[in-house]
Structures are given as C-alpha cells and as structure tokens.
Structure 1
Amino acid sequence: MSTVYDAVIVGAGPAGASCAVWLSLLGYKPVVLDKASVVGGLSALNPFQDVWNVTAPDLTGEEVSLQIQKSLEAAKVPVLLKQTVTSIQRVEHAESEFPLFKVFFGENNALMGKNVVLASGVKHKRPPQMPAGKYYPEILLGPGKHVYMHDFIMKKVAVLGGGDNALENAVYALDRGVKQIDIFARTLRAQKKWLSIINPEHLHIGDYNFNPEEMTVNGEHYDTVMVFYGYEPQLDGIASLNLALMETGHIWTDQRTAQTSVPGIYAIGEVANRMHPCVVTSMADGVVAAKAIQASLEAP
C-alpha cells in the first residue's frame, strides 16, 4: 500500500503549520499541501510588523513566514507547494484499520491520510462588479504587500469599506502623499482608534455606486480604489464532503476538538472562524486539532 499519512493538512499558514509541527513532534506522520509558492498563508503577504504577535513584535508577516518555514523543516514535515486540492474522498481500504481519505491535487495526484485537516484560510472578498479573474491595476483588493508597494503620491483615492482594515489603510495612504481620499462605507464598524484619526469630511456613509471599469464611485473618477470588504473562506475542493457550514459560510467545527461534521475531517484557523482571526489564535487551533488527532489515533 502507498504511504498513508496520519494527517493530510491543506494549508501551510500558521494554523496548518502549527498542526503539522505538533503532530510530527508527537510522533506522527503529517504532510502539508498549499497552492501558494511559499508557506505562511496571508502572513507571507504582509510586509508590516505584526505587533499583535507578542512572541515576535519586531517581525513582519513575511519574516514570521520564514520562521514558520524553519519550524516545518526542523520538524521534518514534508510540504508540497503550488498544489491545488481538487477533491477529497473517503475510501475504504482493506489494509487499514482506519477509514481513509484520499486527497486529490494537481493533475491526477493524490495522497492518502487517516485524517484531513482543512487550514485553507480565507481570501479577500471581491466587489460583485468585478468579474473573478480579471485584473485591475489601480484597484487594490484587501491589505498586504500590494498596498505597501503602491505609489500614492498626488493620487485621488477612494476607499471602499467601513471596517478596521479600510480605515487603517486610508490612514496609511494619507501618510504617503495622496492628493485626496474619500472613504465610502454603508456602515462603520472600525475601532474608535481609527475614527479619531480620520477627518469626518473624508467619510461618506450610506449606499454608493462603484464602477470598476470607469474607476468611479458615485460617478466621480479616482486614480486608485482600495477595496476592503472583508474575507470569505476558501472552500475549493471540499464540496464532495458535504460539510456543515455556519451562516457565515465558514466550516462548522466542534469547539473542543476542531472536528467538522464528518469524523476524521478537521478545520482550523480562519476557514473555520473558530476564534478572533489572527496568527496566534490560528496556531492555537492547530494545537487543538493535533491533540484531537493524537487522541483518536491512540484510542483503544
């Protein structure tokens, strides 16, 4: 029989890496798949210091990702990058005492595991006016390195969204020489911290019309549009499992074990939205799943 892993982990961000490292150190055999070219998930796209991470306040998200890579290497966890999971199927196997799962990825490739851990994270929500797959060079979708690298000097900028990311990045753009900035939000959800910095004249609360083809908001043209509509879970390749989902679209899990509605399938980190989403809570989720898998594998 081909190699059967104790857990096939989909996602090499803080949650998936934490689970993999713990399982390896506990004496089990995990493997990690990720469609990205580097480990770290969204952290790998963050060029700013993550001061919320109390163990590494001086490190940027990119540097945190390098530490994640070191941890995976030290724990001797195999990681397959640039691999997109296409489907996951439960299979019966005469040579195994456990029900097995077959995780298909790439072109006709598959791995076998006693458990599957979904740590695929989230992606930025696109405005409905922007077709999937179409690139708009002056529309910045969500926070990250693309904002850090953008030239804002003397640009007329529109910010869409009323949460923390929207206002924090508006402040970032203001500090980098914009000519004009307008923030459009149907409702304001941001912390008072950001609201105290933003001039109320820049805020436009209520419905608005966005046209990405003409780069206009309410008919007014902008040089750059920054969109912060939040995140949605990445659920590609798991439709065949028929997992229970929450009203938000995230994967439902048992709070104690991180197990989904299908025994042997776990979901951790932001794809399950189990706790306030950040690097630290995602890593904690990985530990929860690893210990639950250990308990299931060691059960008499």
Structure 2
Amino acid sequence: MNATIYDAVIIGAGPAGASCAVWLSLLGFKPVIVDRASEIGGLSALNPFPDPWNVTAPDLTGEEVSVQMKRSLEAARVPVLLNQQVTDIQRVEDIESETPLFRVLFGENHGIIGRNVVIATGVRHKRPVQMPEGKRYPEILLGPGKHVYMHDFVMKRVAVLGGGDNAFENAIYALDRGVKSVDIYARSIRAQQKWLETINPQSLHVGEYVFNPENMTVNGEQYDTIMVFYGYEPQLAGFNHLNLKIKESGHIWTDHDTAQTSISGIYAIGEVANRMHPCVVTSMADGIVAAKAIQHSLEIL
C-alpha cells in the first residue's frame, strides 16, 4: 500500500477534534483532520459572544477562540481538510499492517487511510418535525449563534420555543434589541432561576402548543420571527452503517477510560459522545483522553 497512512483520521475540527490532533502531533504521531465546514472551530466558530465559562479565555468570543484553535493546529503542523463531508468509513485489509486500517471517504471519491478514526463531529440544533429538511425559513432561527446576532429584531413580534437556558437567554437578548414583544412557549421549564426572574410571567406560556412554520404561528398567534431552542442532537451522518453502540440519548457509546467506541480503533469524543457536561473545555479534555489512548495503542504494537 503506497498511500500515506495517518495514525489517526479525525472527523471534525471543533474543540474536541483540534485538541486530539494537536496532542497526537506533539506526542510524535501523524494525525489529519477532515471537516465539512469551511472554517475551524465547530459551533464555537458560529458564536460571536464571549464565553465566560472558558476560564482560559473569558474575554474571547467563540469566533476568536476558533482563531486560536487554528493557530494551535498550524503550530503543531496538523493538516486540515475543510469543506469535505465524510460519506463512509471502511475497514481496509493490508497484509503489511499488523492491525486493521480504516479508509475514510469524503467529497467526490476522495479517501485517506488511518490506523485509527476519531469521530468528533459534534452536534447540531434539533429541527422541529414541522420543518422539512432542506426547506429554508428566513424568519425562523434555529438555535443560538451568529444568525441571532445578525438578525433584525426591531419592532417585531417574536416567539421563542423551548424551556432551557438558551431559550430564555436569547429571549432576553431579543428584548434588548427593540422588539415589539416576546412570548416564550415551553412544554416544561429547565432554565436556571436567574433567567426566570427576568421574564414577564405574562409572556411565558407553559404546556403543549401548536407550531405552524408555514403560517409563522404558535397557538394561532402570528409572529414576525420565531426562535427555536429544542436542544441538540449528535451528527452521525456517514456512520450509521458501522452499527456503533449508541446510548439511549442517541449519542455514541464510548469506553469511559479511553473514549474508544464499540469498534476497536474507532473513538468518539466531544458532544457527539456526550461523555461529560458539554462545553468547549470538556470537549478539549475529551480529545486528550483519546489522544493518550491512541498513543498507548500504537506504542505497544
């Protein structure tokens, strides 16, 4: 086999994938990152706000943190292939290798070979069942991020769907941007008490509700903008055929100590596995767990 064989093909250039790649490179191994996005950072790259929960960079926005990730990858000389959607992972039989190899396919018939694969694809905003995949709704905002920051809220009637922290925090953000009104619809409340104390109780509707994206209505009330915060779901496209063990939550099951999945040589880190409370810091830590486990597996060969 003449093709370059990487020690790890890492799918995803967010905090988990970048951390794993940098550690592997600094440990003396050869990783490569593949990501369908056009920039490094995962969901962080879409966050224009400071992240005070990140104790190493409390004044940096998610976008600025992503720039730091890019600098770290460049300093560690990790190759990163962007704008490449992974379509398949295949086992490769190679008589020259003592362990199974994997071929990761992406784009139009492109592929790279790795001794290990690390799935770090993260999560995406849950889409309401009433909104078909692929159909655009310009005035319906899914999840937090730059699209909320760039949206014009002035004198608009806004509905917020969801009962978690993101729903309440973004409702308060909209209230500070000159809206005409904001109503929150939640089947149950999971938000912190501090957010509840800032919302007018008359604007909060708890219980079942009917959402019609075509008419931009909730319970028959029409709105100019609707913000949807139904949480996140793991991005598993391209991996379903592997029959990886999946947790009841829908995330990939992994060994607690190594981050290895139910298939030897395939690891899952960050929010796609939801091994720890999801955030930038735990995702980076997860990347280190996988990097050290891969180091151990390669050095005992």
Q: TM-score, normalised by structure 1?
A: 0.99
In 2: Cα distance, 1:131 partner to 1:239 partner: 21
In 1: Cα distance, 2:3 partner to 2:139 partner: 48
Instruction: Provide the residue aligned with 1:147 in structure 2.
Output: 148
Instruction: Provide the residue aligned with 1:282 in structure 2.
Output: 283
Residues 1-300 of structure 1 mapped to structure 2, 5 A cutoff: 1-300=2-301
Q: What secondary structure is seen at the aligned counterpart in 1 of 2:190? A: coil
Runs of 4+ in 1 over 3 A off after TM superposition: none
Cα deviation, residue 240, structure 1: 2.4
Q: Deviations over 1:106-129 (max 9, x none)?
A: 011111000000000000001000
Contact 1:48 1:61 in 2 (8 A): yes
Q: Which amino acid aligns with 2:232?
A: Y
Q: What secondary structure is seen at the aligned counterpart in 2 of 1:112? A: strand
Q: What secondary structure is seen at the aligned counterpart in 2 of 1:151? A: coil
Contact 1:186 1:207 in 2 (8 A): yes
Cα deviation, residue 250, structure 1: 0.3
Q: What secondary structure is seen at the aligned counterpart in 2 of 1:128? A: coil
In 1: Cα distance, 2:14 partner to 2:143 partner: 18
Contact 1:34 1:80 in 2 (8 A): yes
Identity of aligned residues (%): 76
In 2: Cα distance, 1:122 partner to 1:181 partner: 27
Q: What secondary structure is seen at the aligned counterpart in 1 of 2:98? A: coil
Contact 1:89 1:240 in 2 (8 A): no
Q: Deviations over 1:226-257 (max 9, x none)?
A: 00000000001112211000011100001110
In 2: Cα distance, 1:5 partner to 1:242 partner: 24
Q: Deviations over 1:139-185 (max 9, x none)?
A: 00000000001111111000000000000000000111111110000
Cα deviation, residue 18, structure 1: 0.1
Q: TM-score, normalised by structure 2?
A: 0.99
Contact 1:170 1:181 in 2 (8 A): yes
In 2: Cα distance, 1:138 partner to 1:98 partner: 51
Q: What secondary structure is seen at the aligned counterpart in 1 of 2:33? A: strand
Q: CA RMSD in A?
A: 0.6
Q: Which runs of 5+ in 2 are unaligned?
A: none
Q: What secondary structure is seen at the aligned counterpart in 1 of 2:59? A: coil
Contact 1:87 1:239 in 2 (8 A): no
Q: Which deviates further from its counterpart, 234-243 or 223-232?
A: 234-243
Q: Which amino acid aligns with 2:132?
A: P
Q: Which amino acid aligns with 1:255?
A: H
Q: Which runs of 5+ in 1 are unaligned?
A: none
Paired residues, what number? 300
In 1: Cα distance, 2:199 partner to 2:264 partner: 48
Cα deviation, residue 94, structure 1: 1.1
Q: What secondary structure is seen at the aligned counterpart in 1 of 2:296? A: helix
